[in-house]
Amino acid sequence: MKVLVMMSGGVDSSVAAALLRDEGHEVVGVTLKLWGGESDSGCCSVSDVDDARRVADHLGLDHHTFNFGDAFTDHVVGPYADSHAAGRTPNPCIECNRHIKFAAVDERARMLGFDAVATGHHARITARPDGTRRVTRGADAGKDQSYVLHMLDQEQLARTLFPVGSITKAEVRERAAALGLRTASKPDSQDVCFITKVQGRGSFLDGRIPFSPGEVVDTAGNRIGSVQAVELVTVGQRKGLGLAGGGAPRYVVDVDLPGSTVTVGSARDLLTDEQPVIGLGWSAGAVGGDLLVQTSAHGTAEPAVIDVDPTDPTVATIRWLQPQRRVAAGQSVVAYESDDVVAGATATSR
């Protein structure tokens, strides 16, 4: 099988390419040029492209670079800024997966005659008796990335490979070391590639969107502080609000952008029995009954029922079996049946 492996310059994709080569596939590596600005996150930098190219050469593989900078700006960076301007907290890495890695790259792979695309994600793909497929949690629970892959449809799953999903991260590094790969001990990238640690989110957005100063109030409506930009505040946030210390921790429980108001409360005030979502999509048909729902990339999946709006199948309410923390509008909400992804949606506010 002819496989195009997306090589980010990290250890996971390096080993993914090696495993596929050793299985006898015709493997070609590709590194994506997405962001032309500064990057210090260990992703999308010049050194990462160099690492990927040198790993491919070490493995005896052809290597190419695809420039998707314009598509990345249109589908990831632009919507990231627009979401903040609208008071939402976006997931740019999920949108990169949705629009770039498993759409634009796969389209080009088809044009070039590749049978499949592969990445170094820690996830698996499970084929079911009825012929459908689902994304399944990776073997290493601590590194599982199924949450950020919830958008993959049946056609994409049929053409996608996750070679390292069935082994642990420790095993990945051991195999990389045994192969003499330069990425064997390279740290994982952690942050959004276009937000530098020095610059920060606020500096990146400043000039791209207007900032609105706002008041901070408690749940009784009493003014207790102010923020310079309501657009930079997110539900669940505890720090960076400029509030006086001492006393019980206070968390953001609501962000009212039109009213330029941030409401803070206790950990108990942050809890809710239900979470509205939009953009609901099922991986292989609707599933009823109790499911496990996860609201962050490395969060714990909690029992819930998905109550679909009878007038719009893409709108639903997540009804928690036990109260859970509110989810910031714009964040992904992913439902599992055991370890299999069955649905994904986006949190919204009432």
Q: pLDDT tens digits, residue range 62-107?
A: 999 999 999 999 999 999 999 999 999 999 999 999 999 999 999 9
pTM above 0.85, yes or no: yes
Which positions ≥6 away from 30 have C-beta within 8 Å? 4, 5, 6, 7, 63, 64, 65, 66, 105
Residue ranges, comma separated, of all CATH 3.40.50.620 domains in the chain are: 2-120+163-179
Q: Which of 128, 121, 70 is nearest to 100 (CA)?
A: 70
Rounded to an integer, the average pLDDT of 6-32 is 97
Q: What are phi and psi of 30, to 5 degrees?
A: -140, 135
Does pLDDT of 224 surpass 70?
Answer: yes
CA distance 329 to 89: 6
Residue range 2-120+163-179 in CATH 2.60.40.10: no
Give pLDDT, residue 105.
97
Per-residue pLDDT, averaged over 177-192, amounts to 90
Residue 44 confidence class, pLDDT cut points 50, 70, 90: low
Please tell me the distance from the alpha carbon of residue 18 to that of residue 22, in angstroms, as a whole number.
Answer: 6
Mean per-residue pLDDT of the chain: 94
Residue 126 has pLDDT above 80, yes or no: yes
CATH number of 273-347: 2.40.30.10
Query: Which residue has tokens 């509110």?
Result: 326
For the chain, give the number of residues: 350
Q: Which residue has the tokens 């962001």?
A: 35
Where does CATH 2.30.30.280 sit in the chain?
211-265
pLDDT of 14 higher than 70: yes
CATH 2.40.30.10 maps onto the chain at 273-347
- Please say if the pLDDT value at position 36 is more than 90: no
Q: Which pLDDT score, from 0 to 100, does residue 339 have?
A: 97
- Please report the beta strands in 109-258, taking only residues with DSSP state E, as ranges in sequence order: 116-118, 123-127, 133-137, 160-161, 214-218, 223-227, 251-256
Q: How much of the chain exceeds pLDDT 90, in percent?
A: 88
Are residues 184 and 26 in contact, defined by beta-carbon separation less than 8 angstroms? no
Residue 41: predicted pLDDT? 56
pLDDT at 43 over 70: no
The catalytic residues are: 96, 193
What is the mean predicted confidence (pLDDT) over 252-256?
96
Gap between the Cα atoms of 283 and 307, Å rounded = 17
Task: Decide if 250 contacts 206 (C-beta within 8 A).
Answer: no
Q: What is residue 42's predicted lDDT score, i.e. its pLDDT?
A: 53
pLDDT band for position 350 (cuts 50, 70, 90):
confident
Q: Is the pLDDT of residue 280 over 80?
A: yes
The CA distance from 223 to 244, in Å, is: 13
- Give the rounded percent of residues in the chain with a pLDDT score beyond 70: 97
> Which pLDDT band, with edges at 50, 70 and 90, does 131 fall under?
very high
pLDDT at 322 over 80: yes
For residue 171, report the phi and psi dihedrals to the nearest 5 degrees.
Answer: -65, -35
- Which pLDDT score, from 0 to 100, does residue 193 have? 85
Q: What local confidence, expressed as pLDDT, does residue 195 receive?
A: 87
Domain 211-265 has CATH 3.40.50.2000: no
Show the tokens assigned to 248.
């019980």
Q: Is the pLDDT of residue 219 over 60?
A: yes
- Rounded to 5 degrees, φ, ψ at 221 are 90, 5
CA gap 1, 24 in Å, rounded? 8
Residues 247-276 have a mean pLDDT of 95
